[in-house]
Amino acid sequence: MNSGLKWIACASIVALGWTVSLAAQQPVPDAPVPQAPRPFSDLKGQVTPGRGSEEQPAEKSSPTSTTGAQQPAAQQPSPADDQQTEAPLVPEAGKGVEGSYTFKSFTNFVEVPVTIKDNKGGLVAGLTWRDFRVFENGARQQLSFFTVDPYPLSVAYVIDQSLTRDVMAHVNQSLGAVQGALTPYDDVAVFTYNVFAKEQTGFTGAQSHLLTAVLELSKATGREEGPPINGGPLGGTCSITSNGTCVDPNIQQGRSTGSDFAPIIPKEIHALNDAILLAAKELSKRPQGRRRIVYVVSDGKEYGSKASQKEVIKFLQTNKIAVYATLVGDSARWGEGYLSRFHIPFQMNDNVLIKYAQSTGGSLDTERTVNGIEKSYAHIAEEARTQYTLGYISHQPAIDGKYRSIEVRVDRPNVEVSAKPGYYPTAQDIE
């Protein structure tokens, strides 16, 4: 009995083994048959200009008319131009200017620093990107970047040495407060001008001892204020002089020959345009990520520069440089300072700094006392540092050399918006 059961068990195991082996042996499929490539006519509609070869959604069938022709599919309405649906890049607090963002667009990225003041002149804080609207050449632009973080400053100080003695004395006493308005992250260069512009020092640390020494060397005596002298030993037109004075007034030009020729009174030279251009050329070499500023301490008078104001303003707008200034002297007097903005034909320009500030998004302070001039250094430095920085990708051609206007609007009542009114595109803006 036991032997019979063993034989049946063995037979069952053998049968099961054959079944498993048969199940494990599957038929091997044939290799795929080579097929001819599809004709190019099958690729129609799959490559869209501007989109590459990405797959397009299948077109929905549209009802046919009685003639069998298909009707065009209805297009989806685009969002309104005055609405921004996507939020711009907003870096974390304190990291907006540390190079944590990179734009790769191969188009013009436009950076617009904006200062917002209330009706009392105080800075307005707490705005978000939703409060701003930017227009370029009248077209609404979608913001791609927004930050309120302060930028390090690169400041080129331009000091007027053609001021009168009393005004120059006030400026000399105030120069010690320049470094107190800056931080160790800022760098400063100093320029002076009278008959011609001169660079006192290149860019150095704002708290360095070198800057202290250069500011001390930038002090001047100024010019004497009085009526011009057209004759006599102090006329300055003698051909023979001794110790800076005429030996004999009678031998001045024209006197010895009996001619009626009278020397023309020389005009005052104030090379302000040349000084701003010299400072702007050095500022244009500063690296990206810094706020570039020309800070002028002057009465704003201009005469005798080789560079025109139009040329200098274009250079400033091309290189993202703003002009700030502290007006002193005649331009700081109540009433007279306002009249000095208007140019009298065939006369020198009494104050050209107004147009420089308006064309570059800067601002002006008018001060007459030493204390006021010192406070203006800190006030303007704070204003330049505490700005809203907006950025957008321009849809205009990358480089066409044409001026592009910018308008910034803020959805807040009773505020004053200060921003550059436009710019010239350059290769530096292409990312």
- Calculate mean pLDDT across residues 338-364: 75
What integer best gives the mean pLDDT of the chain?
Answer: 77
Average pLDDT over residues 322-334: 87
Q: What residues does 112 pair with on adjacent strands?
A: 390
With beta carbons less than 8 A apart as the criterion, state whether 109 and 102 touch: no
- How much is the average pLDDT of 275-285? 96
Q: Do 109 and 173 have their domain in common?
A: no
The answer to pTM > 0.95 is no
Asked whether residue 138 carries a pLDDT value surpassing 80, the answer given is yes
Domain-embedded: residue 41: no
> Quick one: 168 and 309 in the same domain?
yes
- Choice between 160 and 50, residue whose per-residue pLDDT is larger: 160
Q: What is the dihedral of CA 294, 212, 305, 282, to 10 degrees?
A: -50
Note whether residue 254 is domain-resident.
Answer: no
* Co-location of 302 and 275 in the same domain: yes
Residue 113 lies in a domain: yes
Are residues 133 and 202 located together in one domain of the fold? no
CA gap 328, 163 in Å, rounded: 9
Determine the pLDDT at residue 77.
44
CATH code at position 301: 3.40.50.410
pLDDT in the model for residue 20: 44
| pLDDT beyond 90 at 37 | no
Looking at the structure of the chain, the number of domains it has is 2
> What is the arithmetic mean of pLDDT over 173-184?
94
Radius of gyration of the chain (CA): 37
Dihedral, CA of residue 333, residue 377, residue 319 and residue 431, to nearest 10: -140
138 and 276 in a single domain? The answer is: no
Question: Which single residue is written with the structure tokens 């011609």?
Answer: 196
Residue 166 or 9, more confident: 166
Tokens 């973080």 belong to 149
What is the per-residue pLDDT across 9-26, written as a single tens digit (0 to 9) for each? 555 554 545 444 544 555
Residues 103 and 215 in one domain: no
Predicted confidence band at 355 (pLDDT cuts at 50, 70, 90)?
Answer: very high
pLDDT band at 70 (very low <50, low <70, confident <90, very high): very low
Domain co-membership, 419 together with 306: no
Looking at the structure, tell me whether residues 96 and 219 fall in a common domain: no
Average pLDDT over every residue of 75-85: 55
* Choice among 49-58, 64-73, 350-359, 416-425 with the minimum mean pLDDT: 64-73
pLDDT at residue 58, as a whole number:
47
pLDDT at 14: 46
Phi, psi of 353 (to 5 degrees): -70, -25
Strands 241-242 and 364-366: unpaired
Residues with Cβ within 8 Å of residue 54, at least 6 apart in sequence = 48
In terms of domains, do 310 and 193 share one? yes
User: pLDDT at position 68, please?
Assistant: 42
CA distance 211 to 373: 19
Specify the pLDDT at position 62.
43
Q: Are 274 and 307 in contact (CB under 8 A)?
A: yes
Confidence of residue 244 (pLDDT cuts 50, 70, 90): low
- Do 184 and 153 meet the contact criterion of CB atoms below 8 Å apart? no
Max CA-CA distance within the chain?
A: 165
Same domain, 213 and 308: yes
What distance lies between CA 375 and its chain's CA centroid? 25
Which class for 64: exposed (0-12), middle (13-18), buried (19 or more C-beta within 10 A)?
exposed
At 136, which amino acid appears? E
Of residues 176, 253, 258, 173, the one with CA closest to residue 220: 173
Q: Would you call 223 helix, strand, or coil by DSSP?
A: strand
pLDDT 10s digits, 189-242: 999 999 899 999 999 999 999 999 999 999 999 887 766 555 554 554 555 566
Instruction: Please report, for residues 32, 58, 181, 385, 430, the alpha-carbon distance to residue 382 in angstroms, rounded to integers and kept in the order given.
Output: 75, 57, 8, 5, 30
pLDDT at residue 25 in the model: 55
Please indicate, yes or no, whether residues 201 and 311 belong to a single structural domain of this protein: yes
What's residue 170's pLDDT?
A: 95
Asked whether the beta carbons of 257 and 241 are under 8 A apart, the reply is no
- Extract the tokens encoding 143: 């913001």
Strand (E) or helix (H) holding 113: strand 108-118
Contact 179, 207 (CB under 8 A): yes
Q: Please report whether residue 314 resides in a domain.
A: yes
Q: Please report whether residue 36 resides in a domain.
A: no
Query: Quick check: is 73 in a domain?
Result: no
Check if the beta carbon of residue 408 is closer than 8 Å to that of residue 127.
no
pLDDT band at 107, cuts 50/70/90? low
pLDDT, residue 376, reads 94
* DSSP string for residues in 39-60: PGGGGTTT-BTTTBTPPPPPPP
Structural domain boundaries enclosing 393: 85-148+387-431
Mean pLDDT of 138-143: 93
Query: Is 329 inside any structural domain?
Result: yes
Answer with the residue of higher pLDDT: 61 or 372. Answer: 372
- Co-location of 214 and 340 in the same domain: yes
Q: Which has the higher per-residue pLDDT, 61 or 387?
A: 387
Q: What pLDDT does 31 receive?
A: 59
Residue 396's pLDDT is 80
The pLDDT-based confidence of 165 (bands split at 50, 70, 90) is very high
The whole-angstrom separation of Cα 234 and Cα 229 is 7
Residue 43 lies in a domain: no
